[in-house]
Amino acid sequence: MSGHSKWHNIQKTKGAQDAKRAAAFTKISKEMIVAVKEGGGIADPLYNSRLATAITKAKAANMPNDNIKRVLEKAAASGSGDVSVIVETMTDNRNRTAGNVRHHFDKFGGSLGTTGCVSWMFDKKGVIVIDNEDGDLDEDTVMMDALDAGAADFEPEEDCFTVYTAPDDFNAVAKALEDKGYHFDSAEIEMVPQNYQKLEKPEDIDNMEKMLDLFDDDDDVQNVWHNWEQD
């Protein structure tokens, strides 16, 4: 009976340890998922410092790599449909502006991440939009003029042409095109999305539109860029 009692005690101790470890893994898994969500859907620790900290904690707790991988895949999948938004502000009161921006996000189902947390999804470019509403401009001519001026890319659209430049080349390209008599609908340095996300639910689309309107009405907000693919 003593052998049976010893085995029973070992099993009981091991069961308690396993339960404690499982609880720790669950807690850390939640931390990783929250880190990805609040980091703008970024499931890469290189670009998400909070996630990197959570992964370090997981490894210190001897959480298997397969478990960590599954949690990251789950977190990435849950955030894959999220629209990323960059808000550029100018303020004399950081607390007021941060509070207002956070409120705008929270009010319509978004969340304010850490500074620069979604910047890796965008490229900083000069963007010059040339008006062609009347259809008078020849696409090949405009393209060659833009490339000769030092543009990096050219995109023809229905009633305009969009010229992309490296940020450092923006002023020179804009001046060269102005000197050729082109009229701009807009010309500025922008954060251009690498990929776009669609919103399928009407309520998500409505919330996004209302949130962007709030940012537009906020005096501290200078620019807003996002990767929402609008129809």
At the fourth CATH level, the homologous superfamily of domain 83-231 is: YebC, transcriptional regulation domain (3.30.70.980)
The residue ranges of every structural domain in the chain are 2-79, 83-231
Match 């910047």 to its residue by tokens: 119
Residues 30-76 have pLDDT tens digits of 898 888 877 766 777 887 888 899 999 999 999 999 999 888 877 77
Model confidence at 1: pLDDT above 60: no
8 A C-beta contact, residue 150 and residue 176? yes
Q: What is the pTM of this model?
A: 0.65
Structure tokens at 83: 């629209």
- 111 DSSP 8-state letter: -
Which SS3 state, helix, strand or coil, does residue 81 take? Answer: coil
Tokens of 146: 């833009």
From first CA to last CA, the distance across the chain in angstroms is: 75
Least confident of 8-12, 70-74, 130-134: 8-12
Q: What is the residue whose two structure tokens read 């990323």? A: 84
The answer to whether 62 touches 205, Cβ cutoff 8 Å, is: no
Question: How distant, in Å, are the alpha carbons of 107, 109, 110 from that of 102?
Answer: 8, 11, 9
Q: What is the pLDDT of residue 10?
A: 62
**What pLDDT digit, counting tens, does each position of 152-194 carry?**
999 999 899 999 999 999 999 999 999 999 999 999 999 999 8
2-79: what CATH class? mainly alpha
Separation between Cα atoms, residue 64 and residue 217, nearest integer Å: 48
Q: What is the pLDDT of residue 79?
A: 58
Asked whether the domain spanning 83-231 has the same topology as the one spanning 2-79, the reply is: no
Identify the band that residue 114 occupies on the pLDDT scale cut at 50, 70 and 90: confident
